[in-house]
């Protein structure tokens, strides 16, 4: 391991774009299936891993939603959340914001109470036992209707003070942000921070819609924005955070190689970018692996890595005092860990 890779592993950081449903390691998925009497297509963890050869976002989502079936009871949601936050503790992720899409579960009879109690209980235990800060992001599905999204928003209101923000994911092409103008306006009216996946497989126009029509606080992915120079300038001027997921882009064929990933160009153009893992077991790495691989493949400097780490805290849905404290932890780390 290079000195810079070890520097990255121990560097304080946040993760802002990670889906709990996509954090289930193969062995855990099989164990949960057995616990809940669910028959999967794969008999072994190795067979499941071999299925992680995706041709597109939709190809991945087909497997992703099938994996959601193993999450049935409160303990299941607790276990996957606690496992991810233990990984955060090991990887020096001091604050994690995690998506979950309740519609995948409530449509087949899982109660929202079970989901929320499991996830929030694990978050509370992680904070008490490991000192990890975290935020829950409720994700609506863009392939469903706006009416369904609004119903989801109503359903989570009993937990409003425990929800850090509202997001939106799912199959992007054919489901533009403009489908959900009223939904995002209502999220804002109720006081929620917002984000949406845009520009992963969809065009730059979807990123523009997310900013101009939905007025989101963050854009998840955002890669396609580089195809529109005026949009790049808008993102730069407004300093709207982009939660970029390099290994995800590679495994879903969004880029042919990490050497061709747009992250370096985003940094050079002054965009407010962060690095995240998206669905780590499926794509071959957690946030540290994403940072290490893009540093290696793009030749990022230590200063680039520090910018990405500080951006991860500055883009978080936390108060300014907490942001300042976390950024100071990076400066303190650097002062005590100079590179040779």
- Residue 233: what pLDDT? 98
Task: Kindly state the percentage of the chain with pLDDT values over 70.
Answer: 99
Instruction: Check pLDDT > 60 for residue 1.
Output: no
Is the torsion defined by CA of 104, 84, 224, 232 positive or negative?
Answer: positive
Cβ proximity of 121 and 77 under 8 Å: no
Q: What percent of the chain has pLDDT over 90?
A: 95
Q: Give the DSSP per-residue string, 250-318.
A: HHTTSSS-GGG-THHHHHHTT--EEE--BSHHHHT--HHHHHHHHHHHHT--HHHHHHHHHHHHHTSSS
Residues annotated as catalytic are: 200
- pLDDT beyond 90 at 110: yes
Q: Which are the contacts of 315, defined by CB distance < 8 A and separation ≥ 6?
A: 14, 16, 218, 241, 243, 272, 274
Domain count, the chain: 1
Confidence of residue 2 (pLDDT cuts 50, 70, 90): confident
Sign of CA dihedral 280, 167, 65, 87: positive
Q: What is the pLDDT of residues 196-251, one digit of tens each?
A: 999 999 999 999 999 999 999 999 999 999 999 999 999 999 999 999 999 999 99
Residue 264 has a pLDDT of: 98
| 174-179: average pLDDT | 97
| Contact indicator for 176, 213 with CB cutoff of 8 Å | no
Predicted confidence (pLDDT) per residue in 246-276, tens digit: 999 999 999 999 999 999 999 999 999 999 9
- Provide the domain limits for residue 177: 3-336
Element (H, E) at 136: strand 133-141
Q: At 94, which helix (H) or strand (E)?
A: strand 93-100
d(CA 311, CA 260): 22
**Residue 328 and residue 232: Cα distance in Å, rounded?**
29
CATH code at position 15: 3.20.20.140
What is the predicted pLDDT for the residue at 5? 95
């Amino acid at each position: 391991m290079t000195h810079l890779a070890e520097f990255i592993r121990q560097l304080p950081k946040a993760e802002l774009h990670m889906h709990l449903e996509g954090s289930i390691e193969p062995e855990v998925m099989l164990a949960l299936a057995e616990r809940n009497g669910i028959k999967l297509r794969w008999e072994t963890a190795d067979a499941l891993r071999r299925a992680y050869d995706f041709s597109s976002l939709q190809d991945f989502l087909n497997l992703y939603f099938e994996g959601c079936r193993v999450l049935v009871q409160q303990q299941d949601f607790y276990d996957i959340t606690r496992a991810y936050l233990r990984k955060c503790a090991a990887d020096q992720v001091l604050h994690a914001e995690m998506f979950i899409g309740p519609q995948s579960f409530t449509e087949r009879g899982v109660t929202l109470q079970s989901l929320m109690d499991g996830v929030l209980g694990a978050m509370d235990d992680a904070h008490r036992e490991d000192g990890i800060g975290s935020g829950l992001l409720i994700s609506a599905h863009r392939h469903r209707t706006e009416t369904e999204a609004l119903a989801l928003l109503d359903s989570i209101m009993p937990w409003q003070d425990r929800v850090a923000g509202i997001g939106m994911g799912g199959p992007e092409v054919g489901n533009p942000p403009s489908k959900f103008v009223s939904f995002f306006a209502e999220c804002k009216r109720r006081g929620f921070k917002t984000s949406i996946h845009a520009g992963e497989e969809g065009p730059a126009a979807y990123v523009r819609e997310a900013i101009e029509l939905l007025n989101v606080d963050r854009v998840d992915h955002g890669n396609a924005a580089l195809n529109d120079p005026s949009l790049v300038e808008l993102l730069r001027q407004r300093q709207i955070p982009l939660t970029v997921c390099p290994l995800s882009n590679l495994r879903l064929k969004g880029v042919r190689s990490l050497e061709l990933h747009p992250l370096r160009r985003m940094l050079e153009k002054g965009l407010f970018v962060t690095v995240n893992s998206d669905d780590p077991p499926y794509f071959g790495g957690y946030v540290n692996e994403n940072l290490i691989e893009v540093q290696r493949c793009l030749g990022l400097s230590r200063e680039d890595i520090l910018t990405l780490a500080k951006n991860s805290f500055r883009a978080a849905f936390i108060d300014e005092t907490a942001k300042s404290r976390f950024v100071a932890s990076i400066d303190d780390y650097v002062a005590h860990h100079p590179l040779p």
